[in-house]
A and B are shown apart, each in its own frame.
Chain A
């Protein structure tokens, strides 16, 4: 009887200790995430216009999980601008098309905010866009990736020059370029 009571006490203590113990350390799983900033009604934001700054934040903590610059080409003009886009078809994930890839160490399903800011070489045209989504450890997001659409045109003045001498009564000749980001 005494032996049974001792065993019972030990078992109870063990159960108590087990209940109070912290949960096992969650394992951080490398998870690849591809982000692609694109221009509204145009192509991928390329290095030619400075690329785009990409930031991935943990929504719950605000911590920056990854940050970098999207670099590469503007993508396939025919696929992006001319062909009809069928569901599931590859449009942006072509050779040399710009993107940013991060490897996040995720311990649990995590809601992130992904932000793109660009085009970085045209401050007068720079815009920012973002979206939130849930990422799951080990579930890589590649291919077309997370698409972020940036609106606007890049307008650059060719004439008059900054040192042009202008006089009342004379016409002011204006010339500018307008490009999609």
Chain B
């Protein structure tokens, strides 16, 4: 799952699906407002208590 956060609040969200290469997933988010946001990708397997994430700051121009 990919999420866009603005000041800690989720402002966009999309599922990532298998991209055809080993361990690789892809998806698309809509950019609806300009500003500095945080892109977060979450991987989740609650049955095994396995989770992972990565965050990156992105700047969206008007």
Contacts and interface: CB of A to CB of B under 8 A. Distances in A.
A160 B50 CA distance: 25
Interface string B33-62: 110000101110100111111111011111
Contacts of B54: 124, 155-157, 176
Interface stretch (A45-53, A132-140, A163-171): A163-171
A176 B60 contact: no
Interface stretch (A14-22, A96-104, A146-154): A146-154
B31 A170 contact: yes
Secondary structure class of chain B's binding surface, majority of residues: strand
Contact residues on A (Cβ < 8 Å of other chain), bracket: 20 to 34
A5 B50 CA distance: 79
B39 A153 contact: no
Nearest to B24: A177
A158 B19 CA distance: 12
Interface residues of B, number: 36
A157 B33 CA distance: 22
A152 B30 contact: no
B37 to A, nearest CB: 9
B30 A172 contact: yes
A50 to B, nearest CB: 15
B11 to A, nearest CB: 12
B14 interface: yes
A174 B26 contact: yes
B30 A158 contact: no
Given A41-B45, A160-B39, A175 B19 contact: yes
B50 A167 contact: no
B57 to A, nearest CB: 8
A124 B53 contact: yes
Contact of A168 (B43, B48, B51, B62): B62
Contacts of A167: 31, 60-62
Interface of A: 40-41, 124-125, 151-160, 162, 164-180
Given A168-B34, A168-B61, 4 more contacts: A155-B52, A165-B61, A172-B31, A174-B39
